[in-house]
Chain A
């Protein structure tokens, strides 16, 4: 698949995304917008579009980095503890600092996500039997254990509802003034791109990387910070987008390989296109109501993931 096709899909879906919604707004209205249409455009539609881009790109890229660092195609932030640790952090920030500003919540969630991801990597180091599927399962179990702690605390302090509202990704809450924290992921993703070669080399293991003069531990640390930061920003602003970090990377790896310099742009764009598509489906399916993005991404994503698993049993 050529990058140009992805760009076309990206632009086309972006335009569609701007003109789907309860307020009637057509492309030809652009030049003669009423005050109200203008408001909808600036306060709701454009912020929503931008946040779809950033969340889609961010979670796909985070998934790709995590897979490189774990050297396993079946792990991702939402299936190996990162997202779960971030939600635990966010819950604790609500409990301990009830009026914390969004940035502080994100910072606390980030610290937890970083610790959680690092802990998962340490567990991987200790496992001798590196069967890919087993490692993916260990990630799921690890995430569930953290999730259990979160649920327990949430139940105890009667916060289960607000927890569930982050856990389910939802773009309908995006309004001007409530999504800008997502921009934090932009410089971080740029760093991922600048370091693409190093992440590719790190993906071949410590010995291989050391031979080429790479400071392996340093590159892994940078990668973990990127994964944890992007995951917690997206989680707290939009919610979780399950499977996104798994399927996009696996699809791109199939046709584009694992050289990040060449696969990263595809991963980023395909991630954005996929989330745009899922969001539009969710907005049209039961119009004028909406299906939250977490559900559409989860259903489509798990189907694609199963297909990928069954299609290439030996592939990891």
Chain B
């Protein structure tokens, strides 16, 4: 379980996140949704110790993220931020192998190699494995980074807008992979999503944020509701049931 207690982070006037209190259940996919500037990425960064908080506490499986050694945390939780500014000449294979760094410190055992292999296959990157990242398209690169996170093989996986840069096919592919990780291996996934329909179709729970606060949280079924979404996005969003999925029609 990820336990976030009274977390506050201030940036400038009135920005940041304020007194956030939330528990994220184990073995589920939880989506953070909300308009731009709601503080979703900030919250995700604080939960994963990338950003210091001004007040409050976060613990993951009982490990306090501020006090626990970063090396130890790296075997329990992985975080992938948006990676547009990474432009190093590593091959996909090399990058994914770095995912094993918290476990092997750079000396890969046969088990490490197998994890790397599986992660590359999961993301269908075998044909590209020896290509340099700076030669790849944005979507291919995004898949490579997700493969690295898969190789890191942590109980908790935090992803900041993982579907950015991805076409429909690969967005669905990634969400299906995450679904399998939770259903088959009991992993916990927390992700910031912009497209609420992906949140609706694939997540178990949704946390909705706005202006640095949590507006509401709950099981996906309760959250994908016109009245709830009106409170989050200030928009009238009709919802239709299509093949058992609630789809939000927010285009008009």
Q: Which residues of A contact B (CB under 8 A)?
A: 130, 197, 200-201, 203-208, 210-215, 253, 257-259, 261, 315-316
- Closest 6 pairs between A and B when the two form their complex, measured CB to CB: A213-B74, A213-B71, A197-B106, A257-B89, A213-B102, A258-B89
B85 contacts A by Cβ under 8 Å: yes
**A203 contact set on B, CB distance < 8 A:** 88
Report yes or no: A207 in contact with B90, Cβ–Cβ below 8 A: no
Chain B residue with Cβ nearest A211: B79
Chain B CB within 10 A, most for which of A130, A207, A258, A315: A207
**A206 contact set on B, CB distance < 8 A:** 50
Chain A residue with Cβ nearest B49: A210
Q: Given the interface contacts A205-B85, A211-B79, does A257 sit within 8 Å of B102 by beta carbon?
A: no
B194 contacts A by Cβ under 8 Å: no
30 interchain pairs, CB-CB under 8 A: A130-B85, A197-B106, A200-B88, A203-B88, A204-B86, A204-B88, A206-B50, A207-B81, A208-B81, A208-B83, A210-B49, A210-B50, A211-B48, A211-B50, A211-B152, A212-B98, A212-B99, A212-B101, A212-B102, A213-B69, A213-B73, A213-B101, A214-B70, A214-B101, A215-B71, A257-B89, A258-B88, A258-B89, A259-B90, A261-B106
Report yes or no: B98 in contact with A316, Cβ–Cβ below 8 A: no
- For B68-84 the 0/1 string (1 means CB < 8 A from A) is 01111111001111010
- Complex CA distance for A197 and B98, rounded to whole angstroms: 8
B110 contacts A by Cβ under 8 Å: no
- Complex CA distance for A208 and B71, rounded to whole angstroms: 13
B91 contacts A by Cβ under 8 Å: yes
B72, B74, B90: the one contacting A258 at CB < 8 Å is: B90
Report yes or no: A212 in contact with B152, Cβ–Cβ below 8 A: yes
**B102 contact set on A, CB distance < 8 A:** 212-213
**A257 contact set on B, CB distance < 8 A:** 89-91, 94, 132
B87 contacts A by Cβ under 8 Å: yes
- Complex CA distance for A316 and B87, rounded to whole angstroms: 7
B134 contacts A by Cβ under 8 Å: yes
- Complex CA distance for A197 and B85, rounded to whole angstroms: 20
Q: Given the interface contacts A130-B85, A203-B88, A204-B88, does A315 sit within 8 Å of B134 by beta carbon?
A: yes
Number of A-B contacts (CB under 8 A): 67
Chain B residue with Cβ nearest A257: B89
Report yes or no: B75 in contact with A213, Cβ–Cβ below 8 A: yes
Could you list 8 further interchain pairs (A-B, Cβ under 8 angstroms) beyond the known A211-B80, A213-B72? A197-B105, A201-B98, A206-B50, A207-B50, A207-B81, A210-B50, A214-B70, A315-B134
Q: Size of chain B's interface in residues, with CB distance under 8 A?
A: 33
Q: Which residues of B contact A (CB under 8 A)?
A: 45, 48-50, 69-75, 78-81, 83, 85-91, 94, 98-99, 101-102, 105-106, 132, 134, 152
Report yes or no: A259 in contact with B94, Cβ–Cβ below 8 A: yes
Report yes or no: A200 in contact with B70, Cβ–Cβ below 8 A: no
Chain A residue with Cβ nearest B149: A211
Report yes or no: B70 in contact with A215, Cβ–Cβ below 8 A: yes
- Complex CA distance for A259 and B71, rounded to whole angstroms: 21
Q: Given the interface contacts A204-B86, A259-B94, does A211 sit within 8 Å of B74 by beta carbon?
A: yes
**B90 contact set on A, CB distance < 8 A:** 200, 257-259
CB distance from A11 to the nearest CB of B (A): 28
Q: Given the interface contacts A200-B98, A212-B152, A259-B94, does A253 sit within 8 Å of B70 by beta carbon?
A: no
**B69 contact set on A, CB distance < 8 A:** 213
- Complex CA distance for A7 and B191, rounded to whole angstroms: 49
- Complex CA distance for A203 and B98, rounded to whole angstroms: 12
Report yes or no: A201 in contact with B134, Cβ–Cβ below 8 A: no
**B75 contact set on A, CB distance < 8 A:** 213
- Complex CA distance for A315 and B132, rounded to whole angstroms: 13
- Complex CA distance for A200 and B99, rounded to whole angstroms: 13
- Complex CA distance for A253 and B132, rounded to whole angstroms: 11
**A213 contact set on B, CB distance < 8 A:** 69-75, 101-102
CB distance from A63 to the nearest CB of B (A): 16
- Complex CA distance for A118 and B45, rounded to whole angstroms: 26
Chain A CB within 10 A, most for which of B70, B78, B152: B70
**B105 contact set on A, CB distance < 8 A:** 197
**A315 contact set on B, CB distance < 8 A:** 134
**B152 contact set on A, CB distance < 8 A:** 211-212
Chain B residue with Cβ nearest A253: B89
Chain A residue with Cβ nearest B104: A197
Chain B CB within 10 A, most for which of A214, A215, A253, A257: A257
Chain B CB within 10 A, most for which of A197, A211, A212: A211
- Complex CA distance for A207 and B42, rounded to whole angstroms: 13
Chain B CB within 10 A, most for which of A200, A213, A258, A261: A213
Chain B residue with Cβ nearest A263: B89
- Complex CA distance for A197 and B69, rounded to whole angstroms: 19
**B85 contact set on A, CB distance < 8 A:** 130, 205
CB distance from B11 to the nearest CB of A (A): 15
**A212 contact set on B, CB distance < 8 A:** 74, 98-99, 101-102, 152
